[in-house]
Amino acid sequence: MQILTTLGIEWQQLLAQAINFAIIMGVLAYFVYKPVMRVIDARTERIRKAMEEAEEVENQKKELEKFRQQQLSEIDKEAGKILEKAKQEAERMRKDILDNAQKETALMIEKAEKQLANERARVFSEVQDTVGNMIITMTEKILEREFSAKDQERLMKSLEKELPQMLA
């Protein structure tokens, strides 16, 4: 204690200050430190919960992204199938249209050939009739000049006999 007095420190005052310091520390610990620690703990807990929720939201986001990718993949596959069916249907329709067009073309050609054959036959018949009429007319004129009445009578009798046999 002598050292304390040489240094100019009074031990009663030092003891009173230590007791005051301990009381202030107790009061501060009770009224300030514990509430501050409760606030810090509460805040730490809120942050921890927020982090867990954020992690959970991130996991849900990843799951939703996977689900979305799966749905898109399925939609792409479905669209591919629909496109393939549409292509097949279009190809079938194209073949049907071509087949129908070929059939119609064949019918039109056949009809045109029949018309042409009929027209040929009609023209040939007309030409035959015209040529026949011309031959008859020319033969009549030649016969009138060349045959006498006696020759004509003989030819008529011969025709009367032979004509029924020729027509039969």
User: Residue 87 and residue 158: Cα distance in Å, rounded?
Assistant: 82
pLDDT, position 140: 73
- What predicted TM-score, i.e. pTM, was given to this entire model? 0.41
pLDDT, position 143: 66
Do 4 and 11 meet the contact criterion of CB atoms below 8 Å apart? yes
Q: How confident is the model at residue 134 (pLDDT cuts 50, 70, 90)?
A: confident
| Residues of the chain above pLDDT 70, percent | 93
Do 9 and 19 meet the contact criterion of CB atoms below 8 Å apart? no
User: Residue 120 and residue 126: Cα distance in Å, rounded?
Assistant: 10
Q: How confident is the model at residue 1 (pLDDT cuts 50, 70, 90)?
A: low
Residue type, 54: A
User: Residue 106 and residue 114: Cα distance in Å, rounded?
Assistant: 12
Q: Where does the chain have alpha helices with state H?
A: 2-7, 11-28, 34-146, 149-167
Calculate the average pLDDT of the chain: 87
- Tell me the average pLDDT across 49-59: 96
